[in-house]
Structure 1
Amino acid sequence: MELVIQNLSKTYPNGTQALKNINLTIPTGMFGLLGPNGAGKSSLMRTIATLQEADSGSIMLGNLDVLRQKEEMRKVLGYLPQEFGVYPKVSAEEMLDHFAVLKGISNSRERKEIVTALLQQTNLYDVRKKNLGGYSGGMKQRFGIAQALLGNPKIIIVDEPTAGLDPAERNRFHNLLSEIGENIIVILSTHIVEDVTDLCRNFAIINKGEVLLTGDPLHVIDNLRGRIWRKFIDKHELVEHQLQYEVISSRLFAGKTIIHVLSDVQPNPDFDIVTPDLEDVYFSRIHEAAQREKEEQKELVVN
């Protein structure tokens, strides 16, 4: 089964165009939606989840028209939003049982079996009697996945799920998502590049409401081989290098600034070639989009 998004656009009443003619085909498995904060990821997720209307375009899940058959879509959807609230004085077992009732699982014996299985799958069974207010951030996220899995969904959406998790909880969450994504569509919306690198066979980069790139992470990384160069500089030299070279990213390391430059040839002997990764792909596309926007603005001023 595939989720096919065609010509999807959304403008909010304040004039912000959150989605600009989005076209995506998302197959079964883990799909990463990568972009900075404010890129339009959450707007796209909310639209797929039938939580807001689109201005134009279509979304099809197999033969299901998502934008017109909202109730049917909700029956096959699991959703873990970025802000997932819980009742702090209710146990995980009680809360999951309540969610199961809301999902239409009326038989108490069946419901108990499902709740037990999901708590075991998310490694929360041993703390099932503990109030949700005492859960760590990672435990709450795993509980969020447990409720998203109720009703055997065909598609699950997780929005910024690992933000704020410590490394151990992040690894546990990754393993859980990887297991879930073997048989259904799982859309992982994030600004954390490593999450997509670790988990996803397909991904898209979205920025300012537009899709900049789609593909297999390994393939798009390979396309950058021989084009990423690194140099250590002093912090005060950054602006000068940005004016002279295509600097796509910079970060601090041991008191020095490391810059990555996009170039088909060695910029000068002070630069070393580096093996690219998905972060380089991400920053190069964001940089290229920013450059195009500058050129378009210049043309508007001239004309």
Structure 2
Amino acid sequence: MELQIRNLSKTYSNGVQALKNVNLTIPSGMFGLLGPNGAGKSSLMRTIATLQEADSGSITLGELDVLKEKKEVRKVLGYLPQEFGVYPKVTAEELLDHMAVLKGILHKKERHAVVAALLQQTNLYEVRKKNLGGYSGGMKQRFGIAQALLGDPKIIIVDEPTAGLDPAERNRFHNLLCEIGEDRVVILSTHIVSDVSDLCSQMAIINKGEVLLTGDPLRVMNDLNGKIWKKMIGKEELMEYQLQYNVISSRLFAGKTLIHIYSDQRPDYSFEMVQPGLEDVYFSQITAAAAAPGMNEVLKAMS
């Protein structure tokens, strides 16, 4: 099954254009939607999940028209939103059983078997009798995946699922996502670059409602081979280098500032070539998109 998004746009009542003519083809497997906070990721996820209307465009899931056949889409959809609340005084087993009823699993014996299997899959079976209010952040996220898997959905959407998790819980969550992403469409929306590089075979970068790049993470990293250079500088030199070079990222390291720049050739002998990572792809795309409006103004002034 394949999800196709064509010319999708959405503007909110306050005038913010959250999605601008978005086009994506999302195959089965793990698909990473990468972008900064406010990029339009959640707006796109909510639209796919039938929680809000689009202004224009289309979304199809196999033969289903997502924007018109909402009830049918919800039957094959699993969704873990960015803000996922639970009833703190209810056990995981009780709440998942209740959600299974809402999902249409009405036969008691079948429902108990499904609930037990999902709690086992998400490594929560041993704490199934514990109130959800006593769960850690990572345990709540795994419970969120358990409820998203009810009804054996064909498409699963997880929105910023690892934000705030400690490294151990993040690894557990990654392993769980890999397991469920083998035979269905799983869309992972995140601003964490390593989530996409670790998990996804296909990806897109989105910013300010526009898709900047799509492809295989390994391929898009290879496309930058020989074009990313690094140098340690004093923090007081950063602005000078930003004016002189295409600095795509900077961070503190051992009390100094480590910069990465994008250049087809070695800027000078003081720069060292870097094997590009997905973070370099991400920052180069975001930087280029941010510079484009300013460049357009320059070109207009020259014409």
Q: TM-score, normalised by structure 2?
A: 0.99
Corresponding residue of 2:232: 232
Corresponding residue of 2:168: 168
* Identical positions, percent: 75
Corresponding residue of 1:185: 185
- For 2:276 and 2:214, the matched residues in 1 are separated by 17
Superposed CA deviations along residues 20-60 of structure 1, whole A, max 9, x for unmatched, are 00000000000000000000000000000000000000000
More displaced 10-residue stretch of structure 1: 258-267 or 290-299:
290-299
- For 1:142 and 1:219, the matched residues in 2 are separated by 31
- For 2:50 and 2:298, the matched residues in 1 are separated by 39
Is the alpha carbon distance of 1:33 and 1:147 closer, same or farther for their aligned partners in structure 2, counting shifts above 3 Å? same
Query: 1:291 corresponds to which letter in structure 2?
Result: A
Equivalent residues in 2 for 1:24-39, closer than 5 Å: 24-39=24-39
Corresponding residue of 1:274: 274
Instruction: State the 1:287 CA deviation.
Output: 0.7
Q: Does structure 1 residue 86 correspond to structure 2 residue 86? A: yes
Query: 2:111 corresponds to which letter in structure 1?
Result: R
Corresponding residue of 2:216: 216
- For 2:99 and 2:194, the matched residues in 1 are separated by 32
- For 2:201 and 2:66, the matched residues in 1 are separated by 24
Equivalent residues in 2 for 1:1-303, closer than 5 Å: 1-298=1-298
Query: 2:117 corresponds to which letter in structure 1?
Result: A
Superposed CA deviations along residues 41-80 of structure 1, whole A, max 9, x for unmatched, are 0000000000000000000000000000000000100000
Instruction: State the 1:296 CA deviation.
Output: 2.6
- For 1:12 and 1:299, the matched residues in 2 are separated by 31
Query: 2:41 corresponds to which letter in structure 1?
Result: K
Query: 1:226 corresponds to which letter in structure 2?
Result: G
- For 1:155 and 1:43, the matched residues in 2 are separated by 17
Count of aligned positions: 303
- For 1:301 and 1:196, the matched residues in 2 are separated by 40
Q: Matched residue of 1:232: which SS?
A: strand
Instruction: State the 1:291 CA deviation.
Output: 1.0
Query: 2:252 corresponds to which letter in structure 1?
Result: L
Q: TM-score, normalised by structure 1?
A: 0.99
Query: 2:30 corresponds to which letter in structure 1?
Result: M
Instruction: State the 1:134 CA deviation.
Output: 0.4
